Amino acid sequence: MKKFHTIIASLFIAVCFFGCEKDDICSGTTPTTPRLIIEFYEKDNPSVLKTVTNLKAVAVDGSPNGVVFNDILLSTDPNRYLANSNKIGLPLKINGETTEYTLTLNSTSTNPAILNADKITFNYTTKEIYVSRACGYKTNFDLTGSPIQEPNAVDSNKWINNIIVETPNIETENEIHIKIYF
């Protein structure tokens, strides 16, 4: 009888052990929906990267604070939403085919002569790709045509001189998708 209980207990433990599944945790290294990567260049010398100063990117129908470029800063710090580099990443809407951004150069300036905002519209198609049960789906984008640029209603000057689509297929953040010359 004791052997019978031992066999039953062993079978119960084995069933429990083999019935377990691997934890469904999405690794931080798993590719997710990529952002649109933009690099900035000198308009008079197109091979030279140029740093933007206090660039603020606000989606036309998004958060009024704008895109977070410095996520290590507190949400109350206005510098969290400013870019001071030659490359940025902008998220595109996954539930549409158009995303509009107002890109404001020198956004913290009190001098209206150097404060400048341009509105850019990105048109694209989307493709959902299954990643895994834990991670779900990611969305890739395919830019359709060149981005449409127009001056913001605040001013009539364009700070962006030219926009070139370098890679229309947005599948990773490891490549430059758009080059902006200013």
pLDDT higher than threshold 90 for residue 31? no
Q: What is the mean pLDDT of the segment spanning 20-24?
A: 57
| Domain chopping of the chain, boundaries | 31-181
Give the pLDDT confidence of 81-118 residue by residue, as tens digits.
Answer: 999 999 999 999 999 999 999 999 999 999 888 888 99
Q: What is the mean pLDDT of the segment spanning 134-153?
A: 87
If one compares 175 and 19, the residue with the highest pLDDT of the two is 175
User: Is residue 13 within 8 Å of 113, Cβ to Cβ?
Assistant: no
Phi/psi for 114 (5° steps) reads: -110, -10
Residues 6 or more apart whose CB falls under 8 angstroms from that of 113 comprise: none
Angle at 141 between CA 48 and CA 163, to 5 degrees: 30
pTM: 0.83
- Which band of pLDDT confidence, cut at 50, 70 and 90, is reported for residue 57? very high
What is the model's pLDDT at position 9?
A: 54
CB atoms within 10 A of CB 26: 13
pLDDT higher than threshold 60 for residue 165? yes
